[in-house]
């Protein structure tokens, strides 16, 4: 059966001071909802994206145990047993392994999509069509891992890249409206490049941004981990054996912090890709073109793209009051409290006001926010 898991455990430090340890970016209701007109969380948008793809009872969220109560309030359809609470973050390979082990115990034939909780993806109908294609690719070959490549809109140095290989043609509805293939074998994965290499990748037309989303069979994930990351495999299998028993929480709290911290790309995708080049056909990797608007809401400049701009390029958001006079290309996020946040004669600034902290910085310094965050007193993180 088809299942899905949303990974929602990130800290979101580059969206400080709104994104905080107790309420990180994926749980903040600060995204304008085009359907309701209100403010919604990135996590709720990710859950909504699954409607019509995977039924509610077959959806999981993997997140910090500390966020469980906030998620239950935001998404009451997710029962406690479908929220996989990590006592500590151990990177994405262990989140995926956790989900795979729990799903395989319930449904040995489970195929599941892994989605992120920090992206804007539009339009929904194309997203769902590409997800359906990925599910069908895994149903056709249960040892196949499917990733999604986003068509680059600029030579980004902050994303990994996927290079397409030969097209996969032996499956229905695998071409775009203009007849181009949508599914390919993967030639290689490339980590975040420098600008010159990123420019070359984009110009070649052979590369897409690695979206961090996947579709695969749960048992195949576990078999892969047993081969390449046996410590993670042993740990999550111990957790799965206690799942649904009174020892469940104690086992998770004891075992999960011991799992080696590593990403999906390093822990699974790169070893499998290297093995394929050596002639090992235990697993295969495909990529599906995700030809959508894809926005990684990971910084204040990227968040600004979710806010409507005035004629001067200024964007004002938040539940409070903000204004800009004689300025251009500013972002003002005014928090609750009734205080007016006003900018006069400023260009290319980011001002974020909350009851406990106010951030003022040039847009060009957004990538340095982690440095500031590391020096903020602990109670404000």
Whether residue 266 is found in the same domain as residue 316: no
Which long-range contacts does 274-283 make (Cβ < 8 Å, 24+ apart)?
A: 282/143, 282/223, 282/227, 283/143, 283/144, 283/145, 283/220, 283/224
Question: Binning pLDDT at 50, 70 and 90, where does residue 174 land?
Answer: confident
**Domain boundary residue among 296, 321, 341?**
296
Can you tell me the distance from the alpha carbon of 176 to that of 182, in angstroms, rounded to the nearest whole number?
6
* 28 contacts 18 by C-beta, under 8 angstroms: yes
The torsion of the CA quartet 367, 368, 371, 377, rounded to 10 degrees, works out to -90
Nearest Cα to 154, choosing from 280, 366, 301?
A: 301
Q: Does residue 339 carry a pLDDT above 90?
A: no
pLDDT of residue 128: 97
Domain contains 216: yes
Q: What's the average model confidence in pLDDT over 70-83?
A: 93
Residue 337 pLDDT > 80? no
Distance of CA 283 to the CA centre of its chain: 24
Of the residues 296, 315, 349, which one is the last residue of a structural domain? 296
Say whether both 330 and 223 belong to one domain: no
When pLDDT is averaged across residues 20-45 and rounded to a whole number, the result is 90
pLDDT in tens, 211-252: 999 999 999 999 999 999 999 999 999 999 999 999 999 999
Average pLDDT over residues 342-354: 97
Please tell me whether residues 292 and 315 are part of one structural domain.
no
Could you say which of 249, 278, 296 is where a domain stops?
A: 296
Backbone angles phi, psi at 87, to 5 degrees: -65, -30
| Structure tokens belonging to residue 242 | 């206690």
| Residue 114, pLDDT score | 98
Query: What confidence score (pLDDT) does residue 22 get?
Result: 87
- 97 bridge partner residues: none
In-domain check, residue 301: no
pLDDT-above-90 percentage for the chain: 84
pLDDT tens-place string over residues 93-152: 999 999 999 999 999 999 999 999 999 999 999 999 999 999 999 999 999 999 999 999
Give the structural domain span for 320.
Answer: 306-380
Given its phi and psi angles, is residue 27 left (phi above 0), alpha (psi -120 to 50 degrees) or beta?
Answer: alpha
Q: How many helical (H) and strand (E) elements, i.e. helices and strands, does the chain have?
A: 12, 19
| Cα angle: 136, vertex 264, 211; to 5 degrees | 60
Q: Is 173 buried (19+), middle (13-18) or exposed (0-12) by CB count in 10 A?
A: exposed
- Assess whether 275 and 319 both reside in one domain: no
Question: Does one domain contain both 310 and 175?
Answer: no
Locate the DSSP E strands across 192-299. 207-217, 284-290, 293-296
Is residue 336 over pLDDT 80?
no
* Residue 299: CB atoms within 10 Å: 18
Specify the pLDDT at position 38: 84
Predicted pLDDT at 289: 95
Give the CA count within 13 Å in the CB-facing half-sphere of 297.
27
Q: Which of 340, 305, 311 shows the shortest CA–CA distance to 327? A: 311
* Residue 230 shares a structural domain with residue 356: no
HSE-up (13 A, CA, CB side) for residue 323: 7
Across 322-326, average pLDDT? 97
Q: Would you say residue 324 lies in a domain?
A: yes
The overall pTM is greater than 0.75: yes
Rounded Cα distance, 28 and 20, in Å: 9
Location of structure tokens 């969380």: 41
Total structural domains within the chain:
2
Summarize pLDDT for 245-273 with one digit per residue, the tens: 999 999 999 999 999 999 999 999 999 99
pLDDT of residue 37: 78
pLDDT for position 202: 94
More confident residue, 33 or 337: 33
Query: Does 287 share its domain with 313?
Result: no
Q: Residue 359: what pLDDT? A: 97
Say if residue 338's pLDDT is above 90. no
| Domain annotation covers residue 364 | yes
Residue 149's closest CA among 161, 159, 157?
A: 161
| Average pLDDT rounded to a whole number, residues 72-100 | 95
- pLDDT confidence tier of residue 173, bands split at 50, 70 and 90: confident
């Amino acid at each position: 059966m088809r299942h899905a898991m949303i990974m929602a455990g990130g800290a979101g430090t580059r969206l400080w001071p709104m994104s905080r340890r107790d309420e990180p970016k994926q749980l903040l209701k600060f995204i304008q909802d085009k359907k309701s007109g209100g403010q919604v969380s990135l996590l709720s948008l990710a859950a909504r994206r699954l409607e019509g793809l995977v039924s509610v009872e077959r959806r999981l969220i993997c997140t910090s145990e500390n966020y469980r109560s906030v998620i239950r309030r935001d998404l009451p359809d997710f029962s406690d047993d479908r929220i996989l609470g990590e006592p500590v973050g151990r990177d994405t390979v262990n989140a995926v392994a956790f989900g795979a082990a729990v799903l395989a115990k319930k449904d040995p034939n489970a195929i599941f999509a892994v989605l992120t909780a920090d992206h804007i993806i539009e339009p929904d109908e194309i997203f769902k069509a590409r997800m359906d294609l990925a599910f069908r690719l895994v149903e056709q070959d249960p040892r196949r891992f499917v990733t999604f490549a986003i068509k680059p809109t600029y030579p980004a140095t902050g994303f990994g890249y996927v290079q397409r290989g030969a097209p996969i043609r032996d499956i229905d509805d695998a071409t775009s409206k203009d007849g181009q293939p949508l599914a390919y074998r993967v030639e290689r994965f490339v980590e975040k490049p420098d600008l010159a290499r990123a420019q070359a990748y984009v110009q070649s037309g052979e590369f897409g941004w690695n979206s961090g989303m996947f579709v695969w069979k749960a048992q195949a994930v576990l078999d892969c981990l047993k081969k390449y990351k046996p410590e993670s495999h042993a740990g999550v299998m111990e957790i799965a054996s206690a799942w649904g028993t009174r020892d469940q929480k104690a086992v998770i709290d004891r075992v999960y912090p011991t799992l080696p911290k590593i990403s999906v790309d390093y822990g699974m995708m790169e070893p499998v890709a290297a093995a394929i080049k050596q002639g090992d056909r235990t697993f295969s990797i495909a990529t599906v073109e995700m030809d959508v608007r894809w926005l990684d809401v990971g910084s204040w400049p990227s968040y600004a793209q979710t806010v409507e701009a005035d004629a001067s390029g200024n964007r004002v958001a938040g539940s409070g009051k903000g204004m800009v006079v004689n300025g251009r290309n500013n972002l003002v996020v005014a928090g609750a409290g009734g205080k007016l946040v006003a900018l006069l004669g400023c260009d290319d600034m980011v001002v974020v006001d909350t009851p406990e902290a106010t951030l003022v910085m040039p847009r060009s310094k957004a990538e340095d926010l982690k440095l500031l965050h590391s020096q903020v007193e602990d109670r404000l993180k």
